[in-house]
Amino acid sequence: MGDAGGDGVEQQPQEELLEKANKLKEQGNKQLADGHLIQAVELYSQAIDLVPTAVFYGNRAFTYLKMENYGLAISDSDEAIRLNSDYVKAYYRRASANMVLGKYKLALKDLRQVVKTHPGDKDARLKFKACEKAAREAAFAAAIMQEEEEPLCTRVVVQDILVDPAYDGPALGEDLTVTMDFVRAMIERFRAQKLVAKRYVVAVLQQAFALLRATPSLMRLRVPADGADGKTGAFTVCGDTHGQFYDLLHIFELNGLPAPDNPYLFNGDFVDRGSFSFEVVTTLLALKVACPEAIHLTRGNHESKNMNKIYGFEGEVKHKYDAAVMTMFAEVFCWLPLCATLNDKVFIVHGGLPSTDGVTLDDTEGIDRNREPPESGLMSDLMWSDPQPFEGRSPSKRGIGMSFGPDVTKAFLDGNGLELLVRSHEVKEEGYLVEHDGRCITVFSAPNYCDQMANKAAFIRFGHDCKPQFTQYEASPHPPIRPMAYATNFSGFGM
C-alpha cells in the first residue's frame, strides 16, 4: 500500500498515473488531428493534472498556437522548458508565438539556443535564418516609415503596367473605372481558378486606398430604407472569411451580392489560413470601389504584415503576383476602418472592447490608424480583445489585447447609448455565439475552418429594429489546394 495523502485518499503509484496521463495525451493527439482543439486542450490539461511533463505542456502549447492563443502558448512553453530544458519543441513553439506577436528578439533567443544545443538540426537553422530575415525586414520597414516615404499606392502609374496580349479575362476601360460588371466577371474568373491582369489588381488597390483613407476610423452606418417595391430594408454583418473564397461565394448565393439596398459589413480577417485569400480580399475591395455604399470593411488582426508573413497571405500574393502588389495590400490594410455603429444601436468591431473604462465613440473615431497594429492601446484592443464569461478584465490568452466580462460590455454600451456589441475573431461551433446577457454576439463566417474544424458558419441580418437574425451554413467544396499552402514554417512546429 502506498502512503495515504492528507485528504485520506490513497495515492496511486506514479507509473499508473503516468500510464493514464499518456492515454489522455494520445486521445488529445487524436482530437487535435481531427481539428477538435478545445477537446484536445481539455485532454492535455487532464494529463497535466495527473503528471505534469514537458511533452504534455508542449502539446498543449502547440494546440494553443493553432487557436491563436499565443499568450497561453508562451506560458505552456515556459513551463515545458522549466521541466526539461532540453525539450526542443518548446523552444520552437515559444519562438513561433513570439514571432506572431512581432517579438523577434525573444524568438531569436530561443532559436539561437536550439541551434547551439542541436547544431545538426537543419530545420532549426532554417527557422533561425527566417527569423533573422523577418527582424531585419521589420527594422527596415520601421526606418522607411520614419522617413515618411510616399506610399507605393500613390506612386505607381497603372498605365505603365503592361497587359499580356494573350490575356482573355475581364478588363477595365481607359479611365480604369471599376464597375459592377467588371467585378462580376472577375468573380467568375476567380471561381475558375484564373487570375486577372496585374494592371487591374493595382487599379483596384489604388482606388481602394484613396477611398478608405477618406473613411473615418469609426463608420456610422444605417439600415437602408424600405424599398418602393415593399422590400424591407436590411443590413448584413459577416465575420471572419479567412481566404475561404468559395464560402464567400456561398454567402452571396444565399444573401445576394452587395448593393445599396443590400449592404454588407465584413468584420475583418479576410486573409490568411485559407489559400484563396487573394481572391477574397480583392473581391471585397473591388466591390467597395465599384459601389462604396454597398459594402463596408473593418480591419482584423490578420490585416497586418506580421500575420500575413506567417499565415500565408504574403506568400500567396508573391506567388500569384509579386512583392510590389503585397506592399500595396499592406498599405490598403493600414487604412481599413476599425469599427462601426449601425443605427446608433449596434457597435461592430473585429476583436473587442477597450482595456480601460470611459472610452467613447468619439475616442474610437479619433484613432490614428495608418500603421501596423501596436502592441497595446485602444487600436490594439479593438483588433485583438475577446469576451470572457466572468466579470472584469483579465490578461488575454492571445498575449495581446484583453479579455472583458459582461460588466465591461454593459458599461461600454450603456455609456455610449448602444444596445448590442457584434464582434468576430473566434471560431464558433454554430457559427455564432450570444453571451454577456444577450448583449455580445460573436459571428464567424468561415465554415469548416482550415478544412478541419467542422464548424458551421453564420452571418447576421439586421432590420430597422436592429434585432439580429442569424443564417447558418455549411462549407462549400473548393479546389484541392490545402489551407496554409503559402504559409511559412513558423505557423507551427508539428507534434
Element (H, E) at 89: helix 88-100
CA distance 483 to 322: 20
CB atoms within 10 A of CB 156: 18
Distance CA(424)–CA(348), nearest Å, equals 9
Q: Which residues of 41-57 are buried (b: 16+ CB within 10 A; e: fewer)?
A: bbbbebbbebbebbbbb
Catalytic-labelled residue, pool 242, 250, 296, 302: 302
- Residue 369 CA to residue 303 CA, distance in Å, equals 12
Q: Is the dihedral of CA 310, 311, 315, 317 positive or negative?
A: negative
**Alpha carbon distance 274, 241 (integer Å):** 8
Residue keyed to cell 507534434: 495
Angle at 18 between CA 12 and CA 22, to 5 degrees: 140
Cα separation, 62 vs 73, in Å, equals: 7
Question: How far apart are the C-alpha atoms of 100 and 70, rounded to whole Å?
Answer: 8
| Element spanning 76, H or E | helix 70-83
Annotated active-site residue 302? The verdict is yes
Cα-Cα-Cα-Cα dihedral sign, residues 137, 141, 143, 144: positive
Q: Which residues are catalytic?
A: 302
